[in-house]
Amino acid sequence: MNRGYNSDKDIDQGWAWVVLCAVFISMLLYGMVQYSTGIIVAAMLDEMDADLIYASWVGSAHISVGFLTGPVAGVINGKLGCRLSGILSGFVILAGLGLSYFSTSVWSLMLTFALIGGFGYGLAYNNCYVATGQYFHRLRAVTTGFMTSGIALGIFIGPVTIRALMDEFTLHGMFLIMGALCFNITALSILIRPSPFEKSKQYNNKIKELEKDNNKRMCCIQSACVMDFWKLLKIRSFLFYSLSIFSFSTGESMTLIQLPIYAEQQGSTKMEAATLFTAYGSGSIVGRLLIGLLANDRNINKALLQGSCLGITGLLILLFPSYSSSWTSQMIFSGAIGMFTGGIPALFGPLTVECVGLAFLASGFGFLSMMSGLTYAVVPALAGAVVEATGCMSYTFYLGGSVAIVGSLLAFVSGTQLIPITDDITEITVQPDPQNKHLITTTEPQTITNGELRPLNTTCPESE
């Protein structure tokens, strides 16, 4: 069945590739900072003489704010569209990191770097996934994998770059330089034209406004599946998928934020600890591209694929303290978990669309971001408290690996409940002349091309 905007010249082709390149570079800039929080926390301990627990709070708050504000980012994206929300995210990031240059304490960094900067990165993160999901339908999985590989490339070059900037310009100078660099997200977002889906949505809103203001009876497009934020959780596959993402984020946050400090305790230098993220990024690039290609096969259950990746990740983390004594083994570990955890974000967009549909991609993805943010808000700081109390960081890896394995089981359950919803099904209601007692309804969607509504080939029956 032709669903209108699916056949547009910019779906899976044309300008969609320009949009994909723009979000890829935006994700690269996102990954450079977001996955370098462990390096930044270590620098705070040295340059600000901060307490480990308080410094961990700043790093975890920066990531968690970006995720927790996912529902807000989804609303902003729905109101402004991908282009304007992306431009806004660049300005917010510049403000957050620019003000961090003047911060002199952990608590001021909590406001500038964690809250303001984190919110800006959350806007950019949500925007990239939504733009890719709207512009790619048939190639959604593989392009999402390519888009998220931008994060992996950021992980590959980010920590080493940020470590070098801090060595040359101190922590504060690094904030200023990275803020200016990430401001390029604004320019990249200008390339994201309103998608055919956004144009059809805008046209729908105009029809509703005209109908409301002028009280006219006319053709209108209504979504056949009306959901609000809370009703998403009534979809069992999405509920279990959300819980799986919560477990995944818990294991990942416990591992990545503590990894550089743990490596230094095992005898690695600061630069060697930073290069662990280079190995992580390298593996993540492979994982995101490979899982994206596999997920593009409609015969593969994406939830079961996620469960497999998450289960292997959990085992690697759980056993890490037993083979972490050398820098070589740490590099192997980082590359391995990068490959398997990298594949999980590549499934975010396709799985969310399959669970809740394209029309609710922004709100569904916003909820998943919030679930991730809950873990980053609390878990790393609690892990720091455990280390302070016991003097042993290995317990954080034991706990993180166990939770990741639980998340794997939840993903498997989600896969058994999954009834894929790949497109937004619409219903067209035609109200004829008020004197006619009949109300004509057809489930055949009107063709929408570039936001323009084509005339219906439907005529109203004669009134008796």
Say what percent of the chain tops pLDDT 90.
Answer: 16
Residue 84 counted as domain residue: yes
Share the mean pLDDT of the chain.
Answer: 77
Q: What are the φ and ψ backbone dihedral angles of 448, each rounded to 5 degrees? A: -115, 115
pLDDT for the residue 371: 80
CB 393 within 8 A of CB 423: no
CB 132 within 8 A of CB 147: yes
Residue 433 counted as domain residue: no
Domain count, the chain: 1
Residue 426 counted as domain residue: no
- Least Cα distance to 310 among 401, 428, 379 occurs for 401
CB 189 within 8 A of CB 83: yes
Counting beta carbons within 10 angstroms of the beta carbon of residue 125, is it exposed (0 to 12), middle (13 to 18) or buried (19 or more)? buried
H or E element at residue 428: strand 426-430
Residue 457 counted as domain residue: no
Which ranges in 101-195 belong to alpha helices (H)? Answer: 106-109, 118-135, 140-182, 184-190
Residue 431 counted as domain residue: no
pLDDT for the residue 379: 75
The stretch 143-172 carries a mean pLDDT of: 85
Say what percent of the chain tops pLDDT 70.
Answer: 80
CATH number at residue 393: 1.20.1250.20
Residue 434 counted as domain residue: no
pLDDT for the residue 263: 86
138: confidence class by pLDDT, cuts 50, 70, 90: confident
Q: What is the pLDDT of residues 260-312, one digit of tens each?
A: 778 888 888 877 887 887 788 788 888 888 888 887 777 788 888 888 899 99
User: Out of 223-227, 355-359, 398-402, 415-419, which region has the weakest mean confidence (pLDDT)?
Assistant: 223-227
Q: Report the Cα 48 to chain-centroid distance in Å.
A: 31
- Least Cα distance to 28 among 158, 174, 180 occurs for 158
Q: What is the pLDDT of residues 398-427, one digit of tens each?
A: 888 998 999 999 988 887 876 655 444 433
Residue 405 counted as domain residue: yes
Domain that holds residue 330: 5-199+223-417
Residue 458 counted as domain residue: no
pLDDT for the residue 4: 45
CA distance 295 to 346: 9
